[in-house]
Amino acid sequence: MDYKSSGVDTEYAQKLIHDLKEKISATHKVPNVGEVVGRYGGFAGRFEVFQIPGFDVVATTDGVGTKTQLLRRFNYLEGIGQDLVAMCVNDLFCSGATPAFFLDYIACGRLDEKWYNKVLASIVAACAATPMALMGGETAEHPGVMADDDFDLAGFAVGFVPRNRNLPNFDEQKAGDILVGIPSSGLHSNGFSLVRKIFNQLEKEDSITFQTMVADRAELIRTWLAPTRIYHEIPRLLEKVPIKGIAHITGGGIYENLPRIIAPAFGALIDHPEPFHLKATETLEKFVERDKLFHAFNMGTGLILLADERELNSIRAFFPKAAVMGKLVHGEGVKIHL
C-alpha cells in the first residue's frame, strides 16, 4: 500500500495549486491595507499591514481530515479540538509568529449536543492551552447533503510576528547546520486515509487481531488517536535561540515538508530519521514499505528545527528530548538513510 492508493495524491494537489500560482499571487496586494510578503508556499501566509509598523499578520488554515472518521467510530472526541487547533497553530509557529486568535468552522448533517459539546469544549481547551483567543466561528447544518451523524471541521489561526524575524532564514543557513527533531504525540492528523484503509483490510482478513487491537481503549487512543501536540514552547524558544527554520511534519512527511524551510543552495541529509519510535509503526510496516511511510506520516517527529550545531543544548532547554536527525549539505532535495 501507499498513500496514493488510499485515495490521497499529495503530488497532484501540489500541482493544482502550483498551476494557479500566478492568479493567486495577483490577489496579494490590497490597496491601502497591506500585502502578502515572503516566499510562496510556506507553512503560513504572512501579511504586512501598513497601519501596524514593526509587525506582520500571519494566518493559517487546516482541518482534522479523515482522522475525524476514526474518532467518531471509536467515540473519542475529547481530543479532536486539539487536533484542529494544533494543525493550524503549529504552522503559525513555523513562521515565528505568536498566536493571537482562532476561528472554527463546523459542518454537519444535523446538530446534536451529544457530539457538538465535546467538539466545541475541546476546541476551547486547546485554545486556552496554546494560549490564544477563540474569537468565534460558524456551525452549519447540511441536511440531505451530509448524513445526520456526520460532521467535519476546519480552523483558522491568526498571529503576529516581528517584521525583523525571518523564518525560514535562508541568509543565515550554511552547510553543517543541524536538523533537530522534536517528538510528536503520535500520528497527529495526517495519513489517516491510509490508516483507515489498513484498518479495513485488517478487519476483513484478520478480525481477531483487529478486535484485540481495538479492545484496549486506552492503548488504541495512545497508539492511533492521540491528539496532535501543540508546540506552545516555540515563541519562548525564538526569544532565546537563533533558529533558522521550523518545519511542521504533516501530510507528505519529511520529504515534502522539510524542503520548504531550506535555502535553494542546500539539501538535507537525514541519517537518523526515526529518533522517536511510534507504536503504530509496528502495524503500518506490515502493509506499507518503509520508505513510503516517510512520505505519508511524521514517523514520530512533529517538528524539525534548523539551527547552528552550537545551539543544541539551548534547544534542549525547551525540548529535552530533541534529537539531531541530520544536517544541511550542499545540493538539493532530502536524502534519508533508512
**Residue 206 clears pLDDT 60, i.e. is over it:** yes
| Separation of alpha carbons 290 and 338, rounded Å | 8
Give the CA radius of gyration of the chain.
20
DSSP per-residue letters across 132-173: -EEEEEEEEE-BTTB-TT-EEEEEEEEEEEETT--SS-GGG-
**Residue 256 clears pLDDT 90, i.e. is over it:** yes
**Residue 283 clears pLDDT 60, i.e. is over it:** yes
Give the model's pLDDT for residue 36: 78
For residues 191-201, average pLDDT = 96
**Residue 105 clears pLDDT 60, i.e. is over it:** yes
Q: What number of other Cβ atoms are within 10 A of residue 204's Cβ?
A: 9
Give the model's pLDDT for residue 66: 96
Mean pLDDT of the chain: 91
**Residue 33 clears pLDDT 90, i.e. is over it:** no
Give the model's pLDDT for residue 6: 64
Give the model's pLDDT for residue 7: 62
For residues 178-206, average pLDDT = 96
Give the model's pLDDT for residue 257: 97
How many CA atoms, within 13 angstroms, populate the side-chain half-sphere of residue 221?
Answer: 11
Within 8 A by CB and 6+ apart from 281, the residues are: 274, 293, 299, 300
pLDDT confidence tier of residue 34, bands split at 50, 70 and 90? confident
pLDDT higher at 11 or 275: 275
Within 8 A by CB and 6+ apart from 336, the residues are: 254, 255, 270, 273, 291, 294
- Closest Cα to residue 327, out of 179, 201, 217? 179
CA distances from 299 to 18, 25, 88, 201 (A): 27, 33, 20, 21
Instruction: Please give the sequence-ordered ranges of beta strands (E in DSSP) within the chain, or none if there are none.
Output: 29-30, 34-37, 45-49, 55-63, 98-108, 133-141, 151-162, 178-183, 245-248, 266-270, 301-307, 323-330, 334-336
**Residue 32 clears pLDDT 70, i.e. is over it:** no
pTM for this predicted structure: 0.87
Give the model's pLDDT for residue 27: 65
C-alpha cell at position 37: 510578503
Structural domains of the chain, ranges and CATH numbers in brackets: 4-162 (3.30.1330.10), 170-336 (3.90.650.10)
User: Over pLDDT 90: what percentage of the chain?
Assistant: 69
208, 281 contact by CB (below 8 A): no
**Residue 29 clears pLDDT 70, i.e. is over it:** yes
Q: Indicate the range of 130-144, 158-172, 262-276, 282-296 predicted with least confidence.
A: 130-144
Q: What number of other Cβ atoms are within 10 A of residue 232's Cβ?
A: 16
